[in-house]
Structure 1
Amino acid sequence: MTSSASPLSRQAYLSGLAIAIVGAILFSAKAIVAKLIYRYPVDAVTLIGFRMLFALPFFAVVAVWKMRGAAPLSWHDRMRVTILGLLGYYLSSFLDFLGLQYITAGLERLILFLTPSFVLLISALFLGKRIARLEWLALCVCYAGTVLVLLHDAKTGGSNVPLGGAFVLASAVSYAVYLLMSGELVRRIGALRLVAYAMCVSSAACILQFLLLRPEALAQPGAVYGLSVFNAVVCTVLPVFLTMIAVERIGAAGASLSGMVGPVSTLFLGALILGEPITAIQLAGTGLVLAGIYLLSKKKG
């Protein structure tokens, strides 16, 4: 009996791991798609507006589905969901796409991968959490790797690299705050329901911003529409649900560790599709960041 259950358990784990890895690669690919869209006369407002315009119907369907049979949210919870949607998906995504106008897709993914370290630092500064010695080591390794790649790209990519890096850094901090604020709400209303509601709020904000600031930008080449649909469905909606499935199968820790493939996949996709160079310094910096995040994950475990 035990021997027959073991292979099934391992097969379920491997399938969950594969789903998590695919989700991480697809989500990371949004940076590649964004760089392709930026080859047309499109700015961050238009890019994120189109992305959320095509993603909204999917999240709206899930939101309505999760709403059926569930207790209605209190006024207080509705306000929190609205704030989380604006902070975690609207502001974070907008700052991210702003930064991508100035830096490589590989560097963008590397900076965003520092989010767990920002969660740790914010918890220490504002929530009184003590940072252990291993966690300090992990933070130093992470930031050393990012600074290494940032300095390298600043030398080869022009004077706007620090500006783009600052935008993406602010995006990572914004998302870290979202993660900290969402913890208690996730436990009460469920992760999928919260994500669906928050994404609907974010989508509405992005679309409204676009209609107010760039209504004339609705007329775009067909390629922009095609890439935007791909960005919305394949790089936004699909990764969200794949990650949720993976968390159910292998747990949050396993799914989170699978996300470590993100910076690596972005680096190689950037070289393959965008022609972004891969240098020894970039590989070394990426390795340091991955090592630091691995150390953090071992501490959490």
Structure 2
Amino acid sequence: MHEPSSGTKASVQKSDTTPGLLGVACGLGAALFWALGFVATRHGLKVGFTPPDLLMHRFVWSGLVFLPFVFRAGLRDLCGIGWSRGLVLMVLGGPVMSLISYAGFLFVPLGHGSVIQPSCATLGGLLFAAFLLHERIAPSRIVGALVIVAGLGVIGSESIAHIGLDGVRGDLIFVLTGMMFAGFGTLVRYWRVSAVSVAVVISVLSLLLFPIYALSGGLSRIVTFGLHENALQAVAQGILSGPAAMYLFTASIQHLGAARAAIFPATVPALTLLFSWLLLGEPPTALQMAGLATVLFGFYLAQRSR
């Protein structure tokens, strides 16, 4: 039996590496877009937008764009996903989860919310992948996840000191939404749903909630904020942190597996700190920078294959 030549070995190694690199790139892109969405949310709430207003911007525009594609692909089976599965994914990773998350910002600071939710999504994703999907979790990824959680704790320690008993409600909300998103990622992997189908279906199903928003007077309220503020939220929520991030995260799950892709949400708090500094002029403190460095180190460990 002849051993494969060095050129064959190199080509095999390259073919094995390419999907992994593509999955990492997709996961990082999703994390970047989610971080920008958090910053836009903070800005929007400060200027007077309500959680339903931000939810409308996040899903309605993409839903209208994707609606013809759903009709073309097949409304009866909802692009091959099925109505029951589509509704479950919409609840766990779409407008229902987002609305609950936005409500949490009414009880606790945005920075604190951006720590709890991604960390719970990461831990929940690892647990679900191990116990429900039976994926093997490399020891380095377990250590990396623990390091990431430690870094998130450092980042959130300052805001925790300023939260009273009423803030417990906000904390629990973000624990819930983090676990919901972990369940979303696990089901996407288990059902083997394509990234395009997930982004399209969730956006279109979200249109079912628009009549409720319109009847509540939401349209007349957002008009008062002007074209610039509404356009900013439409791009940040409706494109970047909405369907674009959903597509990229789903693609990373398909290339890397649910366990490894679950690490990317944990990088969102660190990226949110960075973008808050660059875009909102709010520089992080020394404690937050220490947490940022810890999270990045944990991310490096979690992406190792051993």
Q: Do these two structures clear the TM 0.5 threshold for a shared fold by scoring above it?
A: yes
> Does the C-alpha gap of structure 1 residues 130 and 154 become closer, same or farther in structure 2, counting only changes over 3 Å?
same
Which among 42, 54, 67 is matched to residue 61 of structure 2?
Answer: 54
Which among 210, 215, 219 is matched to residue 213 of structure 2?
Answer: 210
CA positional deviation for 1:31:
0.7
Aligned to 2:225: 221
> Does the C-alpha gap of structure 1 residues 61 and 243 become closer, same or farther in structure 2, counting only changes over 3 Å?
farther
> Does the C-alpha gap of structure 1 residues 212 and 146 become closer, same or farther in structure 2, counting only changes over 3 Å?
farther
Does residue 199 of structure 2 align to residue 195 of structure 1? yes
> Does the C-alpha gap of structure 1 residues 213 and 27 become closer, same or farther in structure 2, counting only changes over 3 Å?
same
Which among 87, 90, 112 is matched to residue 92 of structure 2?
Answer: 87
1:152-183 per-residue CA deviation (whole Å, 9 max, x = no partner) reads 11335787655444332221111112223333
User: C-alpha separation between the residues in 2 aligned to 1:14 and 1:75?
Assistant: 28
User: C-alpha separation between the residues in 2 aligned to 1:259 and 1:267?
Assistant: 14
> Does the C-alpha gap of structure 1 residues 110 and 131 become closer, same or farther in structure 2, counting only changes over 3 Å?
farther
User: C-alpha separation between the residues in 2 aligned to 1:107 and 1:221?
Assistant: 27
CA positional deviation for 1:139:
5.2
SS of 1:42's equivalent?
A: coil
> Does the C-alpha gap of structure 1 residues 141 and 203 become closer, same or farther in structure 2, counting only changes over 3 Å?
farther
> Does the C-alpha gap of structure 1 residues 241 and 288 become closer, same or farther in structure 2, counting only changes over 3 Å?
same
Aligned to 1:273: 279
Aligned to 1:235: 241
CA positional deviation for 1:145:
3.1
Aligned to 1:177: 183
Contact 1:31/1:108 (<8 A) preserved: no
User: C-alpha separation between the residues in 2 aligned to 1:246 and 1:122?
Assistant: 16
Does residue 154 of structure 2 align to residue 167 of structure 1? no
Deviates more, 1:169-178 or 1:287-296: 287-296
Which among 269, 275, 284 is matched to residue 263 of structure 1?
Answer: 269
Which among 21, 32, 43 is matched to residue 25 of structure 1?
Answer: 32
TM, length-normalised to structure 1: 0.74
Contact 2:59/2:95 (<8 A) preserved: no
Does residue 85 of structure 2 align to residue 77 of structure 1? no
Contact 2:78/2:201 (<8 A) preserved: no
TM, length-normalised to structure 2: 0.73
- Gapped runs of 5+ residues in structure 1? none
SS of 1:39's equivalent?
A: helix
Does residue 43 of structure 2 align to residue 39 of structure 1? no
Q: Quote the sequence identity (%).
A: 19
> Does the C-alpha gap of structure 1 residues 62 and 267 become closer, same or farther in structure 2, counting only changes over 3 Å?
farther
- Gapped runs of 5+ residues in structure 2? 1-5
